[in-house]
Amino acid sequence: MLKNDSKSVLKRILPYFRPHLASLAVALITMIVVTAVHLIRPMILRTIIDKAIPAKDINMAVQYAAFFVFCLVIGAVAMYVRVKIMARIGAEVVAEIKRRLFAQILRQGMRFFDQNQPGKLITRSESDANQLKSMFTQSTAQLVASLMLIIGTIFVLMREDFRVGIVAMISLVVVGLVMFFYLTYIRSLYTKVREKNSALTGYLAEYIQGVPLIKVHGRENDIMTNMRAYSQEKAGLECKAAFIEYTLFSSGFRFCTEIGVLMLLFAYCSGQVYAGTMSVGTLVMFMELLRQFFRPLEFLIEVLAQLQTALAAGVRVFDILDAEPTVKDEGEPAPGLRLQERITFNDVSFAYDSEVVLKNASFSIPRGQQLAIVGASGSGKTTCINLLLRFYDPTSGSVNVDGRDIRTIGLEDWRRNIALVLQEIYLFPGTIMENLKAFHTDIDDETVIRAATELGAHEFIMRQTHGYQTMLAERGANLSYGERQLLSYTRAMVKNPDLLILDEATSSVDVITERQLQASMEKLMTGRTSIVIAHRLTTIRKADRILVFEKGVLMQSGSHADLMNQEGIYRELVNIQTAGKGDPFAVIETITGEDAGIGEATGAVA
């Protein structure tokens, strides 16, 4: 449910102008200049018609004509300056909003991302934020300029002829009332358009990621049918809004109003011209002023319609900016924090909404221990890691480091000494070196090369076209899976963490590559506190301790040998994986050799 409305959006946007008050003052002066030019030009025409032409004074006519051209030049220059200033302000303000929006998204806990599709967040970060740019560039400036010209025109008309001024005021009131009801309706339409656009973007983002699976199952036509339905619904709303805005209102209503008022003015003034109480120049001036009067009204209508779209986008942007982080960084800074003794789960429970996925889990991880967590999907393995990383906070209980609740530690300081290696490897856009440093400029190249050499990644990196400076394709698509995984191991080692977490880090590779990666993984874990989550039990047989979870409950704890000597889930899992295959540990060792070296692993992984 949206927390903001148009009024709150306008109120909250104003502070973004404060750093630009001097530039806004200059822009305001240019608007005054342009308004003055618009009001002076009809008066120049009256002087030429009523004085220069009847007196047959060529010099006077040329002088006033030159003054007319001078006003046009001054107005054009002032308009250029205004456009340039407002464009710069708009770009800077929108850049600041995007920066805060992205920072706010990064501050959110994982629950926020569970509830918001990536496509919708992209729409709000880019499309909706860019919609606000019109509010900071020409729309706001044009709104102010139009109001100034309308007020100036009415003032001049009132001063010259009170009755003509009254006609202008009446037309302004009529147009204003119609505009009020029109804008109320058109804004609701544009809000629906933005919602449909967000839904369509989210739909595309979700299915583009699954293109291979869509092709394998031959569901392209179904996906296209659904997308066509989204697009047609959005296009229908856009067409309806455009028809009302441009055909019925902007063109039809404006045309009828302008023609009606001008005809009324001509009928009134022409009688006075024939009676000799009004000059022809004055009639021309009134006609030109009223013509200019309806031009800013037209701009006003268009600008207000644009602002409605921007405000609808602004509501969505500020709702993200107002979102309270589900995991709050309220801990005290601990820049020198290191793991000294142990990490402890004290009676920890966690629920996603109403679904409990972890129940009263209690265990500890001594410093330097290699801990493995196993269990069926949904048993609570990854939830333990998410709580440890503070992607979520426990529903009850606490996670402690050396007796201190991690919620009392600043998030950045807590995560500084943790490295995470996932099954789904993410490589940043950039070079191999930048990825291995994770863009930490304080890490020198020698540290990276030393880590890559130790884990067996250096050789395949040097085979790349530009070595460590090779640009990676999106998500590292120009590397094999094994190479990408070696890079993720190396990135973790470069960080030199106290705590290493490997979540299903080798479950997506064949057994040969798994054994080769295992050698690098063991190097990475040496001397570090580490937690390994694995479906393939072959990867965790050397762990100091194995925790077995089932449906969120910690069922067993012990070494591989201990658990194999017990009746229970672990032995059942091992038996299931070895059924008909023999001992998987022995199979792997037979294929690759128990003492397979890092250099051998590197060649096969590539």
Q: What pLDDT digit, counting tens, does each position of 127-170 carry?
A: 777 777 766 666 778 888 888 888 888 888 888 888 777 877 77
Domains of the chain in start order, with CATH, are 6-321 (1.20.1560.10), 342-605 (3.40.50.300)
SS3 494: helix
168 token code pair = 């202008």
DSSP 497: -
Q: How many residues comprise the chain? A: 606
| DSSP H stretches of helix in 411-480 | 411-415, 432-437, 445-455, 458-462
pLDDT (0 to 100) of residue 513: 62
Q: What pLDDT digit, counting tens, does each position of 432-442 carry?
A: 998 898 878 88
pLDDT at 604 over 70: no
Task: Look up the pTM and report it.
Answer: 0.64
pLDDT (0 to 100) of residue 139: 74
In sequence order, what are the beta bridge partners of 409? Answer: 332
402 token code pair = 């050396």
The rounded distance, in Å, linking the Cα atoms of 530 and 387 is 15
Phi, psi of 345 (to 5 degrees): -95, 115
Mean pLDDT in residue range 23-37 = 92
pLDDT at 590 over 70: no
In sequence order, what are the beta bridge partners of 405? Answer: 400
Mean pLDDT in residue range 238-251 = 69
pLDDT (0 to 100) of residue 342: 92
Q: Between the ranges 64-73, 113-122, 167-176, where is the mean pLDDT highest?
A: 64-73
The rounded distance, in Å, linking the Cα atoms of 465 and 114 is 39
Q: Compute the Cα dihedral for 455, 459, 460, 464 and give only its sign.
A: positive
pLDDT (0 to 100) of residue 580: 46
Cβ–Cβ < 8 Å for 147, 300: yes
The rounded distance, in Å, linking the Cα atoms of 423 and 106 is 22
Three-class SS of 11-52 = HHHHHHHHHHHHHHHHHHHHHHHHHHHHHHHHHHHHHHHHHH
Three-class SS of 276-344 = CCCCHHHHHHHHHHHHHHHHHHHHHHHHHHHHHHHHHHHHHHHHHHCCCCCCCCCCECCCCCCCCCEEE
DSSP letter for each residue of 177-240: HHHHHHHHHHHHHHHHHHHHHHHHHHHHHHHHTTHHHHHHTT-HHHHHHHHHHHHHHHHHHHHH
In this prediction, residue 71 has a pLDDT band, given cuts at 50, 70 and 90, of: very high
The rounded distance, in Å, linking the Cα atoms of 76 and 64 is 18
| First and final C-alpha spacing in the chain | 50
The rounded distance, in Å, linking the Cα atoms of 193 and 9 is 19
In this prediction, residue 507 has a pLDDT band, given cuts at 50, 70 and 90, of: low
Cβ–Cβ < 8 Å for 383, 357: yes
Q: What pLDDT digit, counting tens, does each position of 326-360 carry?
A: 788 888 888 888 889 999 999 999 998 778 899 99
